[in-house]
């Protein structure tokens, strides 16, 4: 967002980011949960209804929901998300931006950013990765940037996901700062940037 604000200096761009503690699961009943879980999908109906009330009367305001699809079929998952918005009568502008398969795919979409963030990155591991494929995405990135690769990180974690989570956060921060908005070859990343720019240019 800071890079977009720099690119569109003639536009007033204000944003606020809400983080969730995991993706969770959509309720099969589609009902609004009164008790917040901190998981994005569990809380999605309640939050979309709440944000809709706040944003629907604000000119040029939009709700951008960014999430992984993991191993879900992307088209079916997007339809399920749209069903949540429709069933909860969301009236504000909104869009679902799905990282295919997971957020690390957006980092792998910019090899120059990886090299800039990690000068000793083992880029030969990129050869076994197909962009935005349903494959072991973060494991490929670990082989590229983590000392001694994915197996070493897995061994250090020994069932403690926080070790892996900390590594993922570091990669996202360091590589994310170097990402170029329009050179990234991840289709799902370009969809995300395109949806943001569409709204910025229309404001």
pTM of the model: 0.91
- Answer whether residue 26 shows pLDDT above 60: yes
Q: What is the mean pLDDT of the chain?
A: 92
Split at pLDDT 50, 70, 90, the class of 32 is low
Query: Per-residue b/e over 154-163, b at no fewer than 16 CB within 10 Å?
Result: eeeeeeeeee
Instruction: State whether 14 and 73 are in the same domain.
Output: yes
Q: What is the mean pLDDT of residues 114-137?
A: 95
**Looking at the structure, do residues 92 and 146 belong to the same domain, yes or no?**
no
Q: Is the pLDDT of residue 36 over 70?
A: no
Residues 88 and 163 in one domain: no
Would 38 be classed as within a structural domain?
A: yes
Nearest to 82 by CA among 69, 68, 96: 96
What pLDDT score does 35 carry?
Answer: 55
Say if residue 13 is in the same domain as residue 65.
Answer: yes
Is the pLDDT score of 149 beyond 70?
yes
Q: Are residues 34 and 84 in the same domain?
A: yes
Residue 113 has pLDDT above 90, yes or no: yes
Count of positions (residues) in the chain: 203
What sign results for the dihedral spanned by CA atoms 181, 186, 187, 188? negative
Which tens digits make up the pLDDT trace of 159-168? 777 889 999 9
Which residues neighbour 187 within 8 Å (Cβ) at sequence distance 6 or greater?
Answer: 100, 131, 132
Q: Which domain covers residue 129, as residue numbers?
A: 104-176
């Amino acid at each position: 967002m800071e890079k977009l604000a720099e690119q569109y200096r003639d536009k007033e761009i204000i944003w606020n980011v809400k983080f969730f503690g995991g993706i969770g699961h959509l309720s099969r009943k589609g009902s609004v949960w009164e008790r917040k879980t901190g998981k994005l999908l569990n809380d999605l109906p309640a939050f979309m209804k709440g944000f809709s009330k706040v944003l629907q009367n604000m000119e040029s305001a939009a709700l951008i929901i960014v999430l992984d699809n993991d191993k879900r079929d992307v088209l079916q998952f997007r339809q399920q998300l749209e069903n949540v918005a429709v069933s909860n009568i969301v009236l504000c502008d909104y869009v679902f931006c799905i990282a295919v398969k997971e957020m690390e795919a957006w980092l792998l979409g910019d090899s120059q950013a990886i090299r800039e963030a990690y000068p000793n990155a083992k880029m030969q591991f990129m050869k076994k990765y197909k962009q935005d494929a349903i494959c072991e995405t973060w494991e490929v990135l670990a082989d590229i940037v983590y000392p001694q690769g994915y197996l070493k990180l897995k061994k250090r974690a020994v069932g403690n996901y926080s070790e892996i989570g900390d590594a993922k956060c570091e990669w996202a921060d360091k590589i994310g700062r170097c990402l170029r908005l329009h050179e990234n070859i991840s289709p799902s990343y370009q969809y995300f940037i395109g949806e943001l720019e569409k709204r910025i240019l229309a404001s």
